[in-house]
Structure formats: structure tokens, C-alpha cells
Homo-oligomer: A and B are copies of this chain.
Amino acid sequence: MFCFSKMHLCTIMSLLVIGSVAFDAIETPFGKTDKIIGGAASYITLSSSYFTKSINLVAVVGEDFPEAYISKLKDHGINTEGLQIKKGEKSFFWSGRYHNDMNSRETLVTELNVLGTFDPIIPESYQNCDYLMLGNLAPSVQSTVINRLKNRPKLIVMDTMNFWMDIALEDLKHTISMVDVLTINDEEARQLSGEYSLVKAARSIMAMGPKYLIIKKGEHGALLFGENEIFSAPALPLEEVFDPTGAGDTFAGGFIGYLAQTGDISFSNMKKAIIYGSAMASFCVEKFGSDNLIDLSQQTIDSRVQQFRNLSSF
């Protein structure tokens, strides 16, 4: 946060996050949950809140969404002015079951509810944001957000998934053409590009618009592609992945949160941001849902980042 005046001329290095805020019900080999707080934007904002306190959320929930969950976000310094609460409607609900290897899951229930007609309204106080994180949503909703901002943010990061490649490919490509950084997983990179080699896939996807591509590889870490540079980040080898739900969103939140905190969007700083994102994701998967993102200390995060350093330095 940089203030040039003590009066009203403040330039806030703010982060705007859009995505789902929802209920999840999760089954893993370790147990199952009732409806717990979920959705991309929940994970993204909780994760980024450890790096910047200027986070503005745009999302929609139904009347059934507990005030206590919203308070939890507020407690993390997240501005919920842009969180629409639809009277008489129900929140988005997803239920899934993970198999033994934790790499594959089946969706048991998807109830779009309020998300089906989501119109992302940007409060006036959210304008002039420097960093925009587009969590996984219909690409037409993501592009609407960009179009409703009066000034283009310094950096736009977009997450998406194979579902939109299957049903809304043209919309998706249009939105991808508007962003700076795209994050997808390796299978999605292959599907989107039609290339098996990730180097070729990255070149093909970056030709669609983004200057940077992050390919998430789960237990194998992540790759960051820039114009002429590649960075390979390790994943922390974990004894047990308890619940992978939200790991990608938590990664994205740590990534853009670190960039917003440091105000540096060079390739070299993006490498560090990826490590911070990976560290946050490694916490996320150690407990059910976002439970492990509620009460982390700076020391715990720094010490996890140091583990990544030890893991990959030679």
C-alpha cells in the first residue's frame, strides 16, 4: 500500500478476486465432511490474505450462506462489499469423492443455484485495482469483470478448467486473450493446445495471448513459462494428502498475493511467488477444506518456504 498523501489521494495496491463462494461436501479415504465452506474465491482470498490486506471479493451466495462464514473472511481482512447475497436463493453446492490415489475424483453433485445467473457487479470502491485474480468461473463472466473495470489492472491472472474447454471453448479463448497469466494443469494444457509436449503446449497457449503460463502438476510441482524462460517448482513430498480440494485455488491466491505484496511482476519475482503459492497449497491439502488456511503464522509460512528452498537447492 503506497500513500502519496495523508488526505485522499491514496494509490492502493489492491487485489480484486472473483470466483465462487460455495458449499462443498467432500469424501476422501480419510473421511467425509458435511457442507463446509468452499469455492475458488474462498480459497484464493484466504490464501492471499497472508500477503496483502487490501483484498476485494466479488462473488455470489444464497440466503442459506451462514454469516459466520462471511465473518471468517472479514476476519482475514477481506472486503466483502462485492459479495452478493441473493434472498430466497441457494448457494452453489459441489460434492465430490476422491479415490485412493487422490489424483482422480468423481463429482457426486453439482447444484449451480445462484451461480447460474451470476452477474459480477463491481462496487465503485473496487475500481483502480492493481491485481485481478479471475478464479475458475464461466469465461464469459470472467471477461465481463475485465470489461467492467475502468482501468486495466497491472496484472490479470486467470484460472480455468477442462469443463470450459469442453462446453465454451470460444468464450474461453476470448477471455484467455485478455489476461497476462493463465494457470491450468498439465492435462488441461494438453487438451487446450492439442500438444503432448508441455514446451510445445506452452508456446501454443501463450500465442493465444498470455505472456506467462503456469502449468500445475499436483504432486510433481509446477512449471512457469515466460517468453524465453522456464521455471520448475517442486512440490513438497508429503506423507499424506488429506484432501486436495482447493489446492489449485490456494496456490493461485498465494501466487497473486505475494506479487501484490511485493509489487514486482518480473519473471524472477514470479518464481518466488510460485514457491509461496506452492507452500500455501501444501498447507491446504493437510486438512479438510480450508481448515488449515484459517490460522497460519508468518513463521509457519516462512519455515515452509525454507523447506522448498532446501528441497530444490543444489
A238-B197 in contact (CB<8A): yes
Nearest CB in chain B: distance from A304 CB, A: 14
B314-A231 in contact (CB<8A): yes
Nearest CB in chain B: distance from A194 CB, A: 12
Nearest CB in chain B: distance from A46 CB, A: 24
Chain B CB within 10 Å — which of A220, A221, A232, A313 has the most? A232
A314 contacts which of B102, B235, B237, B271 (Cβ < 8 Å)? B271
In the complex, A314→B266 CA distance in Å? 12
B311-A275 in contact (CB<8A): no
Q: Which residues of B contact A230 (CB under 8 A)?
A: 237, 311
Q: Contact mask A102-116 → B, CB, 8 Å, 1/0?
A: 100000000000000
B239-A311 in contact (CB<8A): no
Is A163 close to B, CB under 8 A?
no
A232 contacts which of B101, B234, B239 (Cβ < 8 Å)? B234
Is A157 close to B, CB under 8 A?
no
In the complex, A196→B223 CA distance in Å? 24
A275-B197 in contact (CB<8A): no
Q: Contact mask A248-273 → B, CB, 8 Å, 1/0?
A: 00000000000000000000100110
Q: Which residues of B contact A268 (CB under 8 A)?
A: 314
A232-B238 in contact (CB<8A): no
8 Å CB interface, A187-221 against B: 196-200, 217, 219-221
How many protomers of this protein does the assembly include?
A: 2
8 Å CB interface, A221-249 against B: 221, 223, 229-235, 237-241
Is A144 close to B, CB under 8 A?
no
Chain B CB within 10 Å — which of A217, A231, A271 has the most? A231
Q: Which residues of B contact A272 (CB under 8 A)?
A: 314
B101-A239 in contact (CB<8A): no
Nearest CB in chain B: distance from A95 CB, A: 23
A197-B311 in contact (CB<8A): no
8 Å CB interface, A264-314 against B: 268, 271-272, 274-275, 309-314
30 pairs across A/B with beta carbons < 8 Å?
A101-B196, A102-B196, A197-B238, A197-B239, A197-B240, A199-B237, A199-B239, A200-B239, A217-B220, A220-B220, A220-B221, A221-B232, A221-B234, A223-B237, A229-B310, A231-B311, A231-B312, A232-B234, A232-B235, A232-B237, A232-B311, A234-B234, A234-B312, A271-B313, A271-B314, A272-B314, A274-B314, A309-B314, A312-B314, A313-B313
Residues of A that sit less than 8 Å from B by CB: 100-102, 196-200, 217, 219-221, 223, 229-235, 237-241, 268, 271-272, 274-275, 309-314
